[in-house]
Amino acid sequence: MRPADLGEERDRHLLRRIAAGDREAFRQLFGRYAPTAMALARRVVRQPQLAEETVQEAFLSVWRNPRGYDPARGTVRAWLMSAVHHRAVDGVRREEAQRRRAEDVLSLPDLAPEDPAQSAVDAVGLPQERAAVRTALQELPPEQRQVIELMYFSGRSQSRIAEDLGLPLGTVKSRTLLGMRRLRAALVYLER
């Protein structure tokens, strides 16, 4: 057997062990291919946190479904790198779509002619609304408040916040979601 064949057979054996729930086999496969996977993900997404998340997702899918590997379609290495590449491209597309949506919203012209009566009504309620939002923000846990303030008051993307704070992108997303839910609940309660 050639060395490449031995390596491939070892990889297939690790996948069989992973399918049986062997965590050590998973660690070995991860240790063998994670550096290459990370280099590939970084080349595609160009953001360390997003690359890390991409690799984690790809290997998590291996843990969940090691039987998804088909030897007739190529090597274990090729299968893993293909999974990383597909997830990285999807991540870039998601980030780009989110950026475009934000730009589209910001570029929408205000088509409605200004109604002086509506402006007066808005001005009357505006101080109370601002106060309610400030109160609700202050009641958020500090980590959720920080992410929301950076997004909405500093105009940063979730990826940029993750990079600036040294957090995984998933953490920033979950803090945003939890913070927004708490804000919504607090503001609905204050309206009553």
Q: For the whole prediction, is pTM greater than 0.85?
A: no
Measured CA to CA, the distance from residue 139 to residue 75 in angstroms comes to 53
**CATH 1.10.10.10 residue ranges for the chain:** 125-191
Report pLDDT digits (tens) over 64-76: 999 999 999 999 9
Q: Write the DSSP assignment of 105-158 as a string of letters.
A: HHH----SPP-HHHHHHHHHHHHHHHHHHHHHHHTS-HHHHHHHHHHHTT---H
Banded model confidence at residue 137, pLDDT cuts 50, 70, 90 = confident
Mean pLDDT of 148-163: 87
**CATH 1.10.1740.10 residue ranges for the chain:** 3-100
% the chain with pLDDT above 90: 48
| Range 3-100 classified under CATH 3.40.50.10420 | no
> Looking at the predicted structure, is the pLDDT value of residue 187 above 80?
no
Measured CA to CA, the distance from residue 186 to residue 109 in angstroms comes to 31
Which fold does the domain 125-191 belong to in CATH?
Answer: Arc Repressor Mutant, subunit A (1.10.10)
> Looking at the predicted structure, is the pLDDT value of residue 127 above 80?
no
Alpha-carbon torsion angle 45, 46, 49, 52, nearest 10: 60
Place of tokens 């913070």: 179
> Looking at the predicted structure, is the pLDDT value of residue 21 above 90?
yes
Measured CA to CA, the distance from residue 96 to residue 90 in angstroms comes to 10
Measured CA to CA, the distance from residue 157 to residue 98 in angstroms comes to 9
One-letter identity of residue 41:
A
